[in-house]
Structure 1
Amino acid sequence: MHASHANPPEKDFAAVVAEIWCEVLEVPAVGAEDNFFDLGGHSLLLQTVQERVALRTGKDIELIEFFTHPTVRSLAHRLANGEATSAAAVTDGRRRPAGRLGRLGTRRAQLDGNTPESRGEFGE
C-alpha cells in the first residue's frame, strides 16, 4: 500500500519545506529544527515560500502560520496534521474579515459621517 498524495507523510512535507527554504534563502541545506528567520528569512520572502508551499503540497497556509511554525519540523507537522486549507477546496461562502486597510477606511468613513458611496465626492 502506498501513501496518498492527498495526505503525504510528515517526512515528505519536511523534505518539501526544506527544499523550498534552501531555494528561497539560497542556502545549501537546512535542518529540521532550523528557524526560517534565524537563517536570514524575513516577512518579504514569506510570500514566495507561501506560494511554493501551495504549489508543491496543494495546501494554502495563511502567512501568519509561518510565524507560528518557523521551523521545518513544525511547519511540516502543521501541513501534515493541521487544518490547513486545501488549495482545491471550495470556500464555504462565509465572508472573510476585512483587511486592516479596509477596516480603517470603513472606520474613517463612519467617523467623518461619509458613506462608502460618497467617498471621494466633494460637497459644494
Structure 2
Amino acid sequence: MVDFVKARILYPVILVLWSAATLVQGLVSSFTALIGCRMAIGVFEAPSYPCNNKIVTSWFPESERASAIAIYTSGQFIGLAFLMPVLVVIQDAFGWRGLFIVSGLIGFVWAAIWYVFYRDPKDHSGIN
C-alpha cells in the first residue's frame, strides 16, 4: 500500500481511521467491541511504520537516514513520556472514556495538519 499511495494521502487516511477507532473505544460498552477497536487500531496503524521509512528515504540522503529514523523512533517514546502528565490530567477530568475520545480528536486534527502541510520532496516549493 505504501508503494502505491502517496504519503500525503495515505498518512492522513490511516490516521483518521486509527483515530476513529481510538475515539470509538471511549463510546463502546462491551469487552468484545473494545477488543475489536484495539484490533482496528493495529490494522490502521500498521502502514505508518513503512510510510515513515518511505518518507525518510525520500527526504534524507542515504548517509543521514539511520539518524532520522532513530530520531523519530525515539521521539514517539520520549513524546509519550513527556505527554504522560497531560494524559493523566485529561483522564482525571474526563475519565478513561474521555481520554480515548480526546486522543481520537487530536488524531483528526493532526491528519488535517499533515494533509495541508506535507509535500513530497519533488512537490515542495523549496526544493530545486
Higher normalized contact order (CA 8 Å, seq sep 6+, divided by chain length):
2
> What TM-score bracket applies, with the shorter chain setting the length?
under 0.3
Give the TM-score of the pair, scaled to structure 1: 0.25
More helix by share: 2
Give the TM-score of the pair, scaled to structure 2: 0.24
Q: Which structure has the greater CA radius of gyration?
A: 1
